[in-house]
Amino acid sequence: MHEHGAEVIWDLAHSAGSLPIDLNGCGARYAVGCTYKYLNGGPGAPAFLYVHSNYQNKGWQPLSGWHGHASPFAFEADYTPAGDISRFRTGTHSALAYTALEASLALWSEVDMQALREKSLAMSNLFRECLSDIFTAHNIDDITPAASERGSQVSLVDSQNGYAIVQALIARGVIGDYREPGLMRFGFTPLYLSFEDVWLAAQHFREVMESGEYQDPQFHVCDAVT
């Protein structure tokens, strides 16, 4: 793509913290991501940006701010972006959000990403295997991509009851989400979830289906966040 003049910005929201990523090895120039999913930075945690060192003085982002200025305290009339990665900054960051993220990232520096990936795949497979008879009995489609093509998420389709099933599970403390049309999504955070947690989540899923609990009208009320 680069040879045709196109730029690609990779979205690592579902990759960072769930599988090994080699941006240099892939020839990536730009990537962005959030830290509140698999990186466990907590609600409101800062986003991140990657720019290959050869492109740090070329690209620019549209929300320029004084932290990205070459000399932020010179109060010049014109905007001159810094010559390095700092040109992508905007304004003052939330120190509290960074402190929480720092605590998480300190742990990540000790993580063997290959071992993490193996655990992630084992977890998504365990969840699906525990429930394969339920999927068949209730016409639920397991559309989770093959291991080589997925992150750390299981995707199931029930176009009639998907939303209500997810709501019934949330009421039991198993937090998945729902996206139209009919898609139930379950993310497995390999860093701190145990296989027992996954097995228990599958048990809840089984009970919700076998008891018909999802049919309760309270689980059919549509919220803005699904």
Ligand X SMILES: *Cc1c(COP(=O)(O)O)cnc(C)c1O
Binding stretches for ligand X (CB under 6 A): 11, 13-14, 34, 47
Of 69 and 89, nearer to ligand X (C-beta) is 89
Of 31 and 164, nearer to ligand X (C-beta) is 31
Structure tokens at 160: 């009639």
Of 29 and 37, nearer to ligand X (C-beta) is 37
Q: Shortest Cβ distance from residue 12 to ligand X (Å)? A: 8
The residue whose Cβ lies closest to ligand X is 13
Q: Shortest Cβ distance from residue 35 to ligand X (Å)? A: 9
CA angle 61, 65, 71 (to 5 degrees): 110
CB 164 within 8 A of CB 219: yes
Number of H helices, E strands in the chain: 6, 7
End-to-end, the C-alpha distance of the chain in Å comes to 36
Distance CA 149, CA 2 (A): 23
Of 185 and 206, nearer to ligand X (C-beta) is 185
Q: Shortest Cβ distance from residue 7 to ligand X (Å)? A: 17
Backbone phi, psi, residue 154, to 5°: -105, 135
Element containing residue 220 per DSSP (H, E): none
Distance CA 175, CA 24 (A): 34
CB 154 within 8 A of CB 144: yes
Of 47 and 107, nearer to ligand X (C-beta) is 47
Q: Shortest Cβ distance from residue 98 to ligand X (Å)? A: 15
